[in-house]
């Protein structure tokens, strides 16, 4: 932490007082003068110079802030400065800026960290499971004759009774129950197996001990059930029609489908493995690093995370207030949950910045512009629009520098 005092006096202060006078004079009520037309000496005689000082000080804050930044441009300020008022009188105003400076970082070992990347091999079983999932998306339910089997859909009417008395919430009509989905009480679906359309049956089950209703938890009940219809799920074969329905370019038989699925699984695994690998490298290097992170840096990161979380909720049609209601939580609790992750993010940033400094990583203007053009093209944007959204060319330089620092972390020696 560092405290910087900035004083505004002399001509600057007189100009601020004059601006404050013109603003106050518009609302002043002075006999013989319309609002805004009283001479300054008359105004001061009635209200005093002291009445202008607070407004004049407010008018000086921005200039004082810029002056502080200019005089301390060599300092690495890592959080929004705290502003305080030191003194205020007719001769001027003094502000105190409390600066949070970048903490000292002592790097430990950050190369040859012995972190292994997860395998990205794709098994035949994974390909089979993915293809089965794709086939299930195109599955159709068809009415069938005969008994209910595991995997079928039984359309049922049911009503539950405890001690021969119907209980609330235990009745349903034309309910489509997927056998094997385990959506009903344990033992219920199994007793539907073997029933036929039009058949009725009493099904005896016991509610679980942890059931939400106090009256029913752990209690034996009887459901009177009638099967009104039986449907079986028809999963499509790997036929020409199926490949046409998929509409995947270059996929027209099982071999080409398996190749495409394998490629997709491989790409996903590689991305997941790379992300996990980088996370583990950062964790290992952070353990070897020594740094005391100021609370204000963590709090600012928490605020950024909270803003991002709010944006994500908006995309789902929710507000933070609704989230707090649903989760019986509040902003303080959510921020507390985010603190550990925020601290890790700040430490990761400090680590990579220090590695970039130690390794003398610099990004030229030409390199930054080339990267900006690539990214703009990738996202289908004009370069100037992309730079505005991304934060400018300096942010491109910073991002490139951090990515190069990550590549240093991957070195084995």
Domain spanning 2-99 has what CATH number? 3.30.70.1050
Delimiting residues of CATH 1.10.3120.10 domain(s) in the chain? 254-409
Q: In sequence order, what are the residues at sequence separation of 6 or more whose Cβ sits closer than 8 angstroms to the Cβ of residue 300?
A: 79, 80
Confidence of residue 92 (pLDDT cuts 50, 70, 90): very high
Q: What is the pLDDT of residues 114-162, one digit of tens each?
A: 999 999 999 999 999 999 999 999 999 999 999 999 999 999 999 999 9
Q: Are 224 and 202 in contact (CB under 8 A)?
A: yes
User: 22: closest CA among 35, 32, 33, 9?
Assistant: 35
Choice between 326 and 274, residue whose per-residue pLDDT is larger: 274
Rounded distance between C-alpha atoms, residue 209 and residue 185, angstroms: 11
Domain spanning 254-409 has what CATH number? 1.10.3120.10
The whole-number average pLDDT for the span 257-262 is 96
Delimiting residues of CATH 3.30.70.1050 domain(s) in the chain? 2-99
Rounded distance between C-alpha atoms, residue 31 and residue 9, angstroms: 32
Q: What is the pLDDT of residue 67?
A: 93
Confidence of residue 364 (pLDDT cuts 50, 70, 90): very high
The fold of 140-234 is: Chitinase A; domain 3 (3.10.50)
Q: What is the pLDDT of residue 412?
A: 84
Mean pLDDT of the chain: 93
Q: What is the pLDDT of residue 340?
A: 96
pLDDT over 90 at 33, yes or no: no
Q: What is the pLDDT of residue 34?
A: 81
Q: What is the pLDDT of residues 157-193, one digit of tens each?
A: 999 999 999 999 899 999 999 999 998 999 999 999 9
Alpha helix (H) residue ranges in 103-150: 124-137
- Give a three-class secondary structure readout of 145-212: CCCCCCCCEEEEEEEEEECCEEEEEEEEEEEEEECCCCCCCCCHHHHHCCCCCCCEEEEEEECCCCCC
Choice between 28 and 362, residue whose per-residue pLDDT is larger: 362
Collapsing DSSP to helix, strand or coil, 5 comes out as strand
Widest pairwise Cα distance in the chain: 104
Q: In sequence order, what are the residues at sequence separation of 6 or more whose Cβ sits closer than 8 angstroms to the Cβ of residue 115?
A: 277, 280, 281, 284
In the DSSP assignment, the letter for residue 238 is S
């Amino acid at each position: 932490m560092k405290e910087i005092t900035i004083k505004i006096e002399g001509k600057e202060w007189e100009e601020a007082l004059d601006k404050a006078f013109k603003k106050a004079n518009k609302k002043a009520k002075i006999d013989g003068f319309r609002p805004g037309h009283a001479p300054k000496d008359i105004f001061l005689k009635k209200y005093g110079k002291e009445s202008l000082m607070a407004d004049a000080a407010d008018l000086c804050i921005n200039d004082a802030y810029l002056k502080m930044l200019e005089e301390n441009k060599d300092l690495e300020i890592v959080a929004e400065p705290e502003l305080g008022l030191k003194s205020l009188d007719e001769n001027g105003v003094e502000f105190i800026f409390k600066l949070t400076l970048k903490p000292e970082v002592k790097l430990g070992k950050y190369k040859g960290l012995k972190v292994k990347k997860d395998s990205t091999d794709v098994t035949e079983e994974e390909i089979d499971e993915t293809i089965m999932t794709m086939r299930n998306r195109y599955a159709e339910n068809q009415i069938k004759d005969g008994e209910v089997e595991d995997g079928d859909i039984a359309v049922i009417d049911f009503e539950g009774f405890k001690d021969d008395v119907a209980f609330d919430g235990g009745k349903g009509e034309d309910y489509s129950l997927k056998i094997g989905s385990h959506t009903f009480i344990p033992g219920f679906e199994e007793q539907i197996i073997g029933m036929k359309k039009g058949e009725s049956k009493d099904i005896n089950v016991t509610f679980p001990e942890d059931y939400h209703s106090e009256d029913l938890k752990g209690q034996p009940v009887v459901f009177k059930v009638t099967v009104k219809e039986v449907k079986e799920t028809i999963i499509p074969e790997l036929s020409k029609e199926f490949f046409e329905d998929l509409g995947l370019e270059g996929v027209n038989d099982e071999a080409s489908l398996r190749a495409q699925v394998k490629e997709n699984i491989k790409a996903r695994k590689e991305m997941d493995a790379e992300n996990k690998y980088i996370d583990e490298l950062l964790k290992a290097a952070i353990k070897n690093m020594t740094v005391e992170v100021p609370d204000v840096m963590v709090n600012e990161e928490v605020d950024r995370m909270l803003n991002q979380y709010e944006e994500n909720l908006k995309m789902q049609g929710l507000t933070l207030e609704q989230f707090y209601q649903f989760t019986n939580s509040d902003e303080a609790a959510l921020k507390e949950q985010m603190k550990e992750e925020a601290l890790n993010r700040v430490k990761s940033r400090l680590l990579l910045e220090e590695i970039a400094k130690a390794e003398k990583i610099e990004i030229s203007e030409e390199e930054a512009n080339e990267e900006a053009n690539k990214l703009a093209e990738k996202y289908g944007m004009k370069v100037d629009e992309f730079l505005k959204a991304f934060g400018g060319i300096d942010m491109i330089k910073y991002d490139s520098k951090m990515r190069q620092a990550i590549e240093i972390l991957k070195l084995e020696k």
